[in-house]
Amino acid sequence: MNDDQLLRYSRHILLPQIGIEGQDAIVNARVLVVGAGGLGSPAAMYLAAAGVGTLVLADGDTVDLTNLQRQILHSQEGVGRLKVESGRDTLARLNPEVKVVPLACRLEGEALEEEVGLADVVLDCSDNFVTRHAINRACVARGKPLVSGAAIRFDGQVSVFDLRQAESPCYHCLFPEGEDVEEIRCAVMGVFAPLTGIVGAVQAAEALKLLADCGEPLVGRLLLLDALAMDWRTIRLGRDPSCQVCAQR
């Protein structure tokens, strides 16, 4: 790190759990954020401010007026623009040292697996089960830690799936595919604006901890937030020995 970086990141470097070594790892890291919406906004902003070297932002959507209530990566003048381009501009204003790679597409198939393979940590900030399962499969296949977040109405959840740890479940262990899980979306159900900020910020925190190798990641634990009661609960998660995605590994 140069002198400017030592100054910019001094409040991280002062933390003994992070220090120069941890911040160096953050500055040299590549993080994939899938989804530049309610969760991806705060997650990407904190990751950029904290100095993650390369941020890959994947989202095929454009900014809509209904997004602005919570998607703080975007502003009024961004309406109609690609979210990844609006997001890249916001992140560049926050921290010009971060290289932002905008992918204006719904990342899937080989392209998804390739991007996951290049990343040190993957954040699932998407809003549908098809994408969530695809990201999980790619992370299991490539052995990459996945920080998963979700927010709907007043309910939020976060967990970390890291198959490098023997006891870690994967997303599929928790939410098996094909089970009749009802897809509930913000467009229909609504979502409390700061809830997405809280959940996205927790995802950024978990990603930075993984990069700096400090603390205890949310592996094997599902953190649940009821924002109406402002009540946090933690559920212990076990690995499903018959999971179709991770059991053969």
The nearer residue to Zn ion, 48 or 140, going by C-beta atoms, is 140
Nearer to Zn ion, 135 or 195 (CB): 135
User: Which residues, in sequence order, are CB contacts of 69 under 8 Å at separation 6+?
Assistant: 193
146: CB partners within 8 A, 6+ apart = 122, 123, 124, 135, 136, 139, 160, 161, 162, 170, 171
Structure token digits, residue 140: 């299991």
What is d(CA 248, CA 71) in angstroms, rounded to the nearest whole number?
Answer: 38
**Contact region with Zn ion (CB under 5 A), list: 24-32, 49-57, 89-97, 173-181:** 173-181
Q: Nearest-CA neighbor of 38 among 214, 205, 192?
A: 192
Q: Which of 64, 240 has the CB closer to Zn ion?
A: 240
Binding test (CB under 5 A) with Zn ion, winner from 170, 218, 223, 227 = 170
Position with the least CB separation from Zn ion: 243
Out of 47, 172, 203, 207, point to the residue binding Zn ion (CB under 5 A).
Answer: 172
Is 88 among the residues that bind Zn ion (CB under 5 A)? no
Residue 163 in the binding site for Zn ion (CB under 5 A) = no
Angle between helices 83-94 and 40-49 (to 10 degrees): 30
Given 57, 125, 173, 219, the residue binding Zn ion (CB under 5 A): 173
Residue 243 engages Zn ion in binding (rule: CB under 5 A) = yes
Q: Phi and psi of 234, rounded to 5°?
A: -120, 130
State which residue, 46 or 161, has the beta carbon closest to Zn ion.
161
Phi, psi of 147 (to 5 degrees): -105, 110
| Binding range to Zn ion, per CB under 5 A, among 13-21, 165-173, 214-222, 230-238 | 165-173
Distance of CA 149 to the CA centre of its chain: 7
Q: Does 246 bind Zn ion (CB under 5 A)?
A: yes
Asked if residue 146 binds Zn ion (CB under 5 A), the reply is no
Residues that bind Zn ion (CB under 5 A): 170, 172-173, 243, 245-246
